[in-house]
Amino acid sequence: MTELVVPGMSQEVCVAIGNFDGVHRGHGAMLAELRQLSRRLGVAAVAVTFDRHPISVLRPGSAPPLLTTLEDRLQLLRWSGVDDVAVLPVTADLLQMTAEEFFEKLLCQQFRARGIVEGPNFHFGRNRAGDVRLLRALCDAAGMQFQEASVVVDSGEMISSSRIRELSGQGLLRQATELLGHPYRLRGVVQHGAERGRTLGFPTANLGQIGTLIPAHGVYAGMTQIADQWYPVAVNLGPNPTFADQRDKVECHIVGYSGDLYGQQLAVDLLTELRPLRTFGSVVDLVEQIRRDVAACVECVEVSPLAMEWKRH
């Protein structure tokens, strides 16, 4: 078996391990408990995440769509206040470790963990055989502190990445961002489109190569940062039924921006849904609706507490 080495782990730490996809409010609460435990023990708090979802290696093609790229996930984890973030490459060797091997080789030898914080649904080791009960027993035997994180509930349900995926897939983005505690980011490369928006007076940056879940068809309010300046963004996800164009697209009208972004990577942070897509009787009707969409988007960005907090990062 190939030896796994975690770069930069040269001191004793407290760790929390997980996919952390989306880095939602539930994750944030667990990481807050990690910071508290690390302070009590006088060591660093380290969030440990994975490069690739384990299911993508075990059952290629079956992994759920990601809510965050690895780049954005690491940024969100750092913003949570942990001292460091470590990334475990998901390999066949890692997934073949028994729960006991995972604990000994990674947590004890590589991380030199003094404390561990995990949620009640945490599983580890080959075939997910290890659970929090076994983890607690292993920690006790090793003289390591174990703390089971409290579940964070919203509207009677546990906050989870799968629940956020479900809401986003239904176009209920406002509810999804409430569970996330931050905007939902779409990151892609600006590509050439039909330039129909430009002829209507609302030029768009068309995003391609998006590696995360794209919410349901609809019109959304968001924002983007270009050269240290924030702009409201009205986003159309899906086809253009008025023009009988059924291709799925991600079209972003950046309010107040007129530069050339072709070929550049752009991150658009969605805040809420505005309306579903529909077919308009005329181009005049469509343009009038776009004006209303843009005005609603600008107002949303100006008054949204989520947007204000996000900009402070």
Domain boundaries, the chain: 13-154, 184-312
HEC profile of 198-228: HHHCCCCEEEECCCCCCCCCEEEEEEEEECC
The predicted structure's pLDDT at residue 243: 84
Q: What mean pLDDT, rounded, does the chain reach? A: 92
- Decide if pLDDT at 62 tops 80: no
What homologous superfamily does CATH list for 184-312?
Answer: Riboflavin kinase-like (2.40.30.30)
Give the CATH class of 13-154. alpha beta
The predicted structure's pLDDT at residue 200: 85
Query: Closest by alpha carbon to 215, among 175, 155, 245, 160?
Result: 175
In the numeric block, the tokens 């776009």 are attached to 290
pLDDT in tens, 210-244: 999 999 999 999 999 999 999 999 999 999 888 88
Cβ count within 10 A of residue 84: 16
Q: How far apart are CA 126 and CA 11, in angstroms?
A: 27
Instruction: Report the range of poorest mean pLDDT among 4-8, 48-52, 101-105, 290-294.
Output: 4-8
Specify the amino acid at residue 196.
R
The predicted structure's pLDDT at residue 30: 97
Percentage of residues of the chain with pLDDT beyond 90: 81
- Decide if pLDDT at 7 tops 70: no
The predicted structure's pLDDT at residue 73: 96
Query: Closest by alpha carbon to 26, among 154, 149, 176, 152?
Result: 152
Q: Do domains 13-154 and 184-312 have the same CATH topology?
A: no
pLDDT in tens, 8-44: 555 799 999 999 999 999 999 999 999 999 999 999 9
* Beta bridge partner(s), residue 119: none
124 confidence band (pLDDT: 50, 70, 90): very high
